[in-house]
Amino acid sequence: MAHMGRIVSSVMMIILATGVQGSHGAVQGDGQAPPLVLTTLNTNPDPAAGPLGSALSVLDVERGHLHVFPFLTMEGGPVTGQAMHTALTPDNRKVYVTIGGNRTHPLRMVVIDLTWRDRIPSPRVIKSLEMVSSGTPGNEANGASCHPGTPGIRQEGHGTRITADGRFLTVSELQNDRVRILDTVTDRFIGPPMVHRDLVAPHGLYPNPSGTRAAAPQYWFDQNGVSVWNIEPESGALSYHSTVRLEHEELRGAYLHTVRWLDDQRFFTNATQERHQGDGSSEQAVWLVDLEQGTTHAVLDADDILEGVSDVELANGKLYVAEGNVAQLLAGEQAPGYLSVWSLEDPSAPTFLRRLSAGDGLPETFSNAHGLAASADGRHLFLESFSSNFLIEVDTNDDSVARVFSGADKLNGTHGLYLLP
């Protein structure tokens, strides 16, 4: 009997080691997923781009191996329509992608299983969740959208994020002025989409580190609010908490793209709108919001920042600022793009360290710094540009460029990057 017990124990150990089913339903007899994985998208709507114009990119960060998978030929597909944003579960085995809606396509969330073998991923579409039906009029709030569609018939899902425990995914419907939350175990939305009179053109819904609150920035000219929502820990239900206005003395911050939490009560957000845009009341800036103290102030403003701020990220005790005015770029104006680096020894007063630009730290053909993502340990920082087809890794020790992925690596309209925060 003891011998039989050892056999059973050995069999169980083998099963556990090889895996039968992951925490998110992925079959795991396929091999180990890499410890750190980044996802992003090709989002070029030009038909001349061919199948690679709409694709999922998966990067094994440790080895620097980039894999690009066109949606038209993906197993379980094809997936048609304009891909927008990604999110990846903590086990690196399931990807969520928002696909924009228009007259012929619904706005939807596509769920993709990643099977790994020898650290090479094989994506398979396992579910498609309709968020807004095709042909549904939107408020057309976001004039800087890169998503093609008939005016008034355009719907976009933005800013997908997953809570730190991996349980819930948050997302916004920008043209519909709504936010939503999804259960990553069942892959079903929790309750109806949430609306509020202060929720205007939300670009994403960003959870705090504990997953108890989330913030939705307003991504439109002259809109200077960030709405804050409660997340019920057990059910994931959303409820409105408050709206923060970025105003301090004569300064306002508007056209807000992202939120990055410093802790459970404080977050940075970024103002894209410059003085020559909108009603002239906003200027490019990085704002620090303290919910507990009820304060907002610009820690960096137009005296510090060269261009409207598209994103910020925190890594290795520093604040990284993507200076890239997307509204200016899509209006056909110059938007060269910079990555500036600031010490966060005092978060309320960052100090300048350096600025990277095209030909000076960044590739000569770089333009429009749009998205940033950093690993949890702060070692890896990534910058992407959809206008110049770059995904760039920055060494956060000396803030030099460590690796460059470009059109030569099949990137095209790079947008929607995600690295487990």
**Position 29 confidence tier, pLDDT thresholds 50, 70, 90:** very low
Contact criterion met (CB below 8 Å) for 131 and 109: yes
The secondary element (H helix, E strand) that includes residue 6 is helix 2-18
Which pLDDT score, from 0 to 100, does residue 328 have?
80
**Position 195 confidence tier, pLDDT thresholds 50, 70, 90:** very high
Spatial distance between the Cα atoms of 186 and 235, rounded to a whole number of angstroms: 12
Other beta carbons less than 10 A from residue 244's beta carbon: 23
Digit-coded pLDDT (tens) for 85-100 = 999 999 999 999 999 9
Contact criterion met (CB below 8 Å) for 111 and 39: no
Give residue 3's region: left, alpha or beta (phi > 0; psi -120 to 50). Answer: alpha
Q: Which residues of 199-215 are buried (b: 16+ CB within 10 A; e: fewer)?
A: bbbbbbbbbbeebebbb
Other beta carbons less than 10 A from residue 115's beta carbon: 18
Spatial distance between the Cα atoms of 234 and 152, rounded to a whole number of angstroms: 37
- The residue with tokens 């099949």 is 410
pTM of the model: 0.90
Which pLDDT score, from 0 to 100, does residue 19 have?
32
- pLDDT over 70, % of the chain: 90
* For range 141-156, the mean pLDDT: 60
Contact criterion met (CB below 8 Å) for 43 and 84: yes
Mean pLDDT for the chain overall: 90
Digit-coded pLDDT (tens) for 219-234 = 999 999 999 999 999 9
* For range 101-113, the mean pLDDT: 94
Digit-coded pLDDT (tens) for 78-87 = 999 999 999 9
Nearest to 266 by CA among 235, 297, 240: 297
Q: DSSP code of 282?
A: B
- 13 contact partners, CB below 8 Å, separation of at least 6: none
Which pLDDT score, from 0 to 100, does residue 62 have?
95
Which pLDDT score, from 0 to 100, does residue 1 have?
39
Digit-coded pLDDT (tens) for 296-339 = 999 999 999 999 999 999 999 999 999 998 878 777 777 789 99
Q: Which domains does the chain have, with CATH numbers?
A: 19-132 (no CATH), 156-299 (2.130.10.10), 306-421 (2.130.10.10)
